[in-house]
Amino acid sequence: MKIIGFMTGTSLDGIDMAVLETDGEAELGFGPFAEKPMPGEVRAVLEAATKDALNWPRGAAEPDSFTTARRVIADYHLQSLDQFLSENDLNIRDFDALGVHGQTVLHERPKNGMPGRTVQLFDGDYLAEKTRLTVVCDFRRADIEAGGEAAPLAPVYHRALAHKAGLDLPVVVVNLGGVANITVITPDGLTALDTGPASGLMDQWMRQHTGQWFDEDGAVAAKGRADVAIVADYLSHPYFAAPAPKSLDRYDFTLERVSPLSHEDGMATLMAFTVESLRHEIVRAGVTPSAIVLCGGGRNNRQLVKVLRERLADIAPVRIAEDLGWRGGAIEAEAFAYMAARSLKGLPISFPGTTGVKTPLTGGVIYRATNARRSA
């Protein structure tokens, strides 16, 4: 199948699109990919929906802002798709399906006997009718309804990439997005978990102090000094004692602890929290990997990569996705194209070791256009 995958992360900085030809198993063929910035008016709608989601009581009707946001994010995908096809001289009639993550505005893990909640806003039916292609989205719903964490989901694709690259196992793949997560790939299985914040808290701190969206190359963090007591305080959170698999929302940790610090020291402390929480969970995984591979937007933060290499050197060499010939900026979009193929074939996308679901489970809600150009 020839599929375009889409990813919009919680940083609300833009959209990733990637072409993948795959059978949802070992076959991986790579086409064009692109990263496009998110317009301010789209971001504003999604920020309002996220704010409403964080204040949404269980059992209450969903906020009205969700309905508006679903159409806005779908239109943004449609406009980005048109540009992507034009820029790469692609014909939409050559594709079998679209795999769309949607916009996460809420993620609450199951705890204390209470089921989790997760919301990825999107209008799959609308995009299917507009493109006349099969659309697969809402990948997390089935898992959360079955009692799983519904995150992380990319591990099944990380495994496919590791096998295609011929990496010596075990290997640890790290995704550095708003939240950090790891995939531990061994000859016998697949495990995964969110390890703590990645860029999320640092981006909030930067925006609060300067109005800028991120700390380019980690320049601000490099000038500061981490407060080890505050890092230890962050790491005392019960989440870090909980067993895997487990997941986080970008907003599970706040800036309250670092609020008394200077801009530079606060950034250095938040970066240290990212690094130490990641190290903590890799050590707890109990494997000796041949490599630790960094993916996601955080791999572009030079200071973060420098500190990670220093702190993880005793565990394994740290490599960037591009070192392996992977397309670091496209991996998550590729992952949802891959999972769309698996969903269409009824293959599992989440597993006991990745989300805590009891048995391997397929997922993805499938929307087929009334007058489809091709039927996946």
| Cα 293 from Cα 183, distance rounded (Å) | 10
Is 10 flagged in the annotation as binding?
yes
Is 11 flagged in the annotation as binding?
yes
Which of 276, 362, 325, 363 shows the shortest CA–CA distance to 161? 325
| Cα 326 from Cα 160, distance rounded (Å) | 12
Read off φ and ψ for residue 327, nearest 5 degrees: -100, 95
Is 127 flagged in the annotation as binding?
no
* Single-letter residue type at 171: V
| Cα 295 from Cα 305, distance rounded (Å) | 11
User: Which stretches within 313-350 are classed as H helix?
Assistant: 331-344
Is 13 flagged in the annotation as binding?
yes
Residues of the chain by 3-state class (helix, strand, coil), percent to 5? 40, 20, 35
Read off φ and ψ for residue 15, nearest 5 degrees: -125, 140
Q: Which residue has the tokens 């010596």?
A: 168
Is 314 flagged in the annotation as binding?
no
Is 94 flagged in the annotation as binding?
no
Interhelix angle 155-165/331-344, rounded to 10 degrees, is 100
- Binding site residue list: 9-16
- Binding site residue list for ATP: 9-16
